Structure 1
Amino acid sequence: MKSPLDGWYEKAGVRTDPRRVIGDELDAGRTLFPEKLIPYLDHPLVQDLEPGRRFGLVARHLYQYMQFTMHFETSVVNRAAARIADGTSGLDLPSSVRLDAYKIYCDEAYHALYSLDVVEQVSDATGIETPDYDFTPFLGRLDGIGADVMPGEPVLVQLLQVVVFETLVTSILKDIPKDPLVVGTIREVVRDHAEDEGRHHAYFAAFFKELWHGMSPALRERAARCLPELVSRSLTPDLVPVRASLTAAGLGEAAVGEVLADCYATDQLRLGVRASARHTFQLFESAGVLDVPGARDAFMAAGLL
Structure 2
Amino acid sequence: MAEPDITSLRAQLRPPSLPRHDPTEPVESSVIRALTRSWGIRATVKKREPDLDDLFDPDRLDFPEVLIPFHTHRRYRELDERRRARLRAWAWIAYNKNVVDIEQYVVNPGFASVTGDALGIGPHDTLVLGVMQAMVDEQYHTLMHHNASALTRRRRGWMLPESVLPPSRTVRAHRDAVARAGSPRAEALVRLAFTTVAETSISAYLGLLTEDDALQPVNRATVALHRRDELCHSSLAAELLKIVFAELGRTDRRVLLDALADGIVAFTGGDAATWAAIVEHERIPGGKELIAEAVAAAESGRVVQDCSAIRSLCTELGVAEELHIDW
Identity %: 19
Superposed counterparts of 1:12-23, under 5 Å: 12-13=19-20, 17-19=32-34, 21-23=52-54
Secondary structure of 2:234 counterpart:
helix
Asked if 1:139 is matched to 2:146, the reply is: no
Distance of aligned partners of 1:234 and 1:177 in 2 relative to their CA distance in 1, 3 Å threshold: closer
Q: Which position in structure 2 is the counterpart of 1:104?
A: 134
Alignment partners' CA distance in 2, 1:196 and 1:274: 19
The C-alpha deviation readout for 1:193-213, integer Å capped at 9, x for no partner, is 000100011110111111212
Segments of 5+ residues of structure 1 without an aligned counterpart are none
The C-alpha deviation readout for 1:114-162, integer Å capped at 9, x for no partner, is 21111111101111112213428863532322443x4111111111110
Out of 232, 247, 263, the residue aligned to residue 294 of structure 2 is 263
Alignment partners' CA distance in 2, 1:45 and 1:170: 32
Segments of 5+ residues of structure 2 without an aligned counterpart are 1-6, 24-31, 36-51
Deviation of residue 75 (structure 1)? 1.5
**Does structure 1 retain, via aligned residues, the 8 Å contact 2:108–2:135?**
yes
Q: Which position in structure 1 is the counterpart of 2:316?
A: 286
Q: Which position in structure 2 is the counterpart of 1:217?
A: 250
- Residue type matched to 1:22 in 2? D
Alignment partners' CA distance in 2, 1:72 and 1:186: 18
Out of 76, 81, 87, the residue aligned to residue 111 of structure 2 is 81
Alignment partners' CA distance in 2, 1:106 and 1:160: 20
Aligned length: 291
Secondary structure of 2:197 counterpart:
helix
Distance of aligned partners of 1:194 and 1:128 in 2 relative to their CA distance in 1, 3 Å threshold: same
Q: Which position in structure 1 is the counterpart of 2:27?
A: none
What is the TM-score when the length of structure 1 is the normalising length? Answer: 0.85
Alignment partners' CA distance in 2, 1:174 and 1:249: 28
Secondary structure of 2:109 counterpart:
helix
Alignment partners' CA distance in 2, 1:212 and 1:274: 26
Larger mean Cα displacement after TM superposition, 36-45 or 93-102: 36-45
The C-alpha deviation readout for 1:156-193, integer Å capped at 9, x for no partner, is 11111101111115654224222111111111110110
**Does structure 1 retain, via aligned residues, the 8 Å contact 2:245–2:253?**
yes
- Residue type matched to 1:90 in 2? G
Asked if 1:5 is matched to 2:12, the reply is: yes
Alignment partners' CA distance in 2, 1:53 and 1:273: 23
Distance of aligned partners of 1:221 and 1:137 in 2 relative to their CA distance in 1, 3 Å threshold: closer
Alignment partners' CA distance in 2, 1:191 and 1:89: 34
